[in-house]
Amino acid sequence: MIHQKVVKLTLLIVIISLACLPSQAQKVENSIFWEVTGNGLSAPSYIYGTVKFIPEKDYFLSKNVKNKLKECEIFATETMLDHHSLRELNKAAHLPHHESIEDLLTAEQYGNLRKIFINQLNVSKTKFELVYSQFKPVVLSTTMTRLSLGDDVKYYELELVKMAKKQGLLTLGLETASREIEAIETFSKENQTKALIHTIANFNKQKMDYKELIASYKLGNLHNTLEYTLHPSENDMSFRSHFYDQRNAEWVPQIEKYMKQSPSFFAVGVAHLADDKGLIQLLRAKGYTVSPFPLQ
């Protein structure tokens, strides 16, 4: 019963867990909303950079974003959120073979982690041991930040999916869940564990960093948002290459296919937008005009 109550949370954390990692990006124009035109497109398409969870009091979705969504016929997120994908992602969030996070930490580290869940996150000892201790380290680190925000939280991807479906847009993904999981798995268990140990020792700093991220995001400041983005990978460059650079390159043909077919609206994590290997520069290199679009 306890497990069933957190399946939805687990799904969200898996999708989130690495969609918000920083890419050590070069600074580009400050915007989280972009218009794509030119190169033979018959109508503009749009890319909206998201953070995957945000306190409800800080949640915003501007009139321009809503209006441009209405003008599109295709809505695409990173991964399709169908039942099959949810099961795959949920399974990928957990350690294999009934392992526990306790097996990866010293007794002191595990005790400190449990104290954070019980004393700061209001999670019972039983729920921590039966549910959260089964999560992979990188998922657990992001879960800690998510739980620190309390119950009043919004998820941009889910909100946008609901709006798109209500408006009758064709809802698609840029990749399969198995491809995302394959990329996640390139972040070794050892390095995940090192990152979690850092989180345990610096949890208050991690929470403050997330507040700074949200403040920058609300201003539409892409560069500062990336600077403050939660980084459970501890800047693992190999993981960054597999999870960001390679997937961005793989998404471009799919994005082109959708845009050429119909006006499209893409909602992806902000970390996929910046840098010379981010979506903005990759699409520009293909000959498209990718311009910041006003949020208001």
The DSSP secondary structure of the chain, one letter per residue, reads -HHHHHHHHHHHHHHHHTTT----PPP--S-SEEEEE-TT-SS-EEEEEE-S-EEGGG----HHHHHHHHH-SEEEEEE---HHHHHHHHHHTBPGGG--GGGGS-HHHHHHHHHIIIIIS---HHHHHHTGGGB-HHHHHHHHHHHHT-S-EE-HHHHHHHHHHHTT-EEEEEE-HHHHHHHHTTS-HHHHHHHHHHHHHTHHHHHHHHHHHHHHHHTT-HHHHHHHS--TTTT-HHHHIIIIIHHHHHHHHHHHHHHHHS-EEEEEEGGGTSSTTSHHHHHHHTT-EEEE----
14 has pLDDT over 80: no
Joined together, the tokens standing for residue 12 give 């969200």
Asked if residue 175 lies in contact with residue 8, where contact means CB atoms within 8 angstroms, the answer is no
| Long-range contacts from 257-262, C-beta under 8 angstroms, 24+ separation | 258/45, 258/74, 258/76, 258/172, 259/36, 259/41, 259/45, 260/40, 260/41, 261/74, 262/72, 262/73, 262/74, 262/170
Rounded Cα distance between 161 and 291, Å, is 24
Q: For the ranges 79-93, 119-133, 182-196, which has the lowest average pLDDT?
A: 79-93
Percent of the chain clearing pLDDT 90 (strictly above): 58
Question: Residues near 162 by Cβ (< 8 Å), separated by ≥ 6?
Answer: none
pLDDT for res 231 = 53
pLDDT for res 30 = 80
If you average pLDDT over residues 81-90, what whole number do you get?
Answer: 81
Rounded Cα distance between 82 and 5, Å, is 19
If you average pLDDT over residues 66-91, what whole number do you get?
Answer: 89
Q: Render pLDDT for 190-221 as a digit per residue (tens, 0 to 9).
A: 989 998 999 999 999 989 989 988 888 887 77
pLDDT greater at residue 17 or residue 270? 270
- Residue 89 class from Cβ within 10 Å (0-12 exposed, 13-18 middle, 19+ buried)? buried
10 has pLDDT over 90: no
pLDDT for res 17 = 44
Q: Which band of pLDDT confidence, cut at 50, 70 and 90, is reported for residue 228?
A: low
Q: Which band of pLDDT confidence, cut at 50, 70 and 90, is reported for residue 12?
A: very low
Q: Render pLDDT for 171-184 as a digit per residue (tens, 0 to 9).
A: 999 999 889 888 88
In order of 74, 89, 123, 270, the CA distances from 80 in angstroms are 13, 11, 30, 18
Q: Which band of pLDDT confidence, cut at 50, 70 and 90, is reported for residue 233?
A: low
Asked if residue 19 lies in contact with residue 175, where contact means CB atoms within 8 angstroms, the answer is no
If you average pLDDT over residues 107-126, what whole number do you get?
Answer: 97
Amino acid at the residue 222: L
37-51, 228-242, 272-286: which is most confident: 37-51
Q: For the ranges 149-153, 261-265, 276-280, which has the lowest average pLDDT?
A: 276-280
Distance between alpha carbon 187 and the CA centroid of its chain, in Å? 16
pLDDT for res 19 = 43
If you average pLDDT over residues 49-77, what whole number do you get?
Answer: 94
Rounded Cα distance between 38 and 161, Å, is 27
